Amino acid sequence: MKTFYSLPLFALLALIFSNSVLAEPSRMFSQETSAIESAGSISLDLDYPFSTAGLATGLRVGAFDGVVLINSHPDFGTRMGLPGSSVGFKKVIQNNIAAYGVVSYYSDANNSDTDFAIGAAYTATSGTLTYNINPELITDKVSGVNRGGKNTIFVKGSAQFPLTQVKTGKASVIAELALENNDAIDSVVNLGLRWAPRKDVTMDFVVYSDRGSPNNIDNNEKGLPGWIKLNIQL
């Protein structure tokens, strides 16, 4: 969608003029948490992978007692592996637990497809450690696209460790693991750093990303570095 190409400029303007004081984004590197953005707020993601060309964007808008999710293509990062751009809704259903649903429409010269993702997230803190569990079901009707035309159940988990020796803002180390039940793809491991120089700006540096051998490709998809994600909250 052409509207997403103007989002990087919008992000820079937001960074310059925003004075809001908000928390971290309601996601880890590539999985949802139980948090949601506050009502009336806008959270903008810009994803740049080092392994492929292109910039992915995402919006999270606090509305309707939850958060509206709008994601562009391509499908790395928090794009849930859906073959096209998507829109969804996430809501807290009880303390530390949120549920969400996402719909994506994809069309090219050979295929036309509507896919769905539904999931839940549980987030808790023990001492200084924050851990997250995010089960998710994603449909896939197009053979050979992303997950080999198979519906896939993911079980994602992450751990976040804060770093104390940071002079500007706050920082933490994040480790992620995504398991699945689909022979066409492999489990995913992400390791990296999160740095928040301001309370409305968060930068994620995915230092290492291992996506295995999706669709039985001989060479494993590894990134060192993996990708950079910038989040700005309005």
Q: Domain limits of the chain? A: 2-233
Please report, rounded to a whole number, the percentage of residues in the chain having pLDDT higher than 90: 48
Average pLDDT over residues 138-165: 82
How many angstroms separate the Cα of 166 from the Cα of each of 107, 116, 171, 197, 208? 46, 40, 7, 10, 22
Burial class (CB in 10 A: 0-12, 13-18, 19+), 109: exposed
Closest C-alpha among 206, 186, 204, 191 to residue 159? 191
In the chain, what is the greatest distance between 2 CA atoms, to the nearest angstrom?
Answer: 53
The answer to whether the CB of 167 falls within 8 A of the CB of 157 is: no
Q: How far apart are CA 134 and CA 139, in angstroms?
A: 16
* Average pLDDT of the residues of the chain: 81
- Residues 61, 81 contacting (CB under 8 angstroms): no
Q: Residue 197: phi, psi to the nearest 5? A: -70, -25
3 state SS of 19: coil
User: Locate tokens 């937001």: which residue?
Assistant: 14
Residue 170 CB neighbour total at 10 angstroms: 15
Task: Note the pLDDT of residue 18.
Answer: 43
Just give the CATH number of 2-233: 2.40.160.40
Give per-residue pLDDT as tens, 32-89: 999 999 999 999 999 887 766 577 888 999 999 999 999 886 544 444 567 678 899 9
* The residue to which tokens 């004075």 are assigned: 19
Identify whether the C-beta of residue 110 lies closer than 8 Å to the C-beta of residue 97.
no
pLDDT digits (tens, 9 = 90+) for 79-135: 456 767 889 999 999 999 999 999 988 777 777 778 899 999 999 999 999 999 999
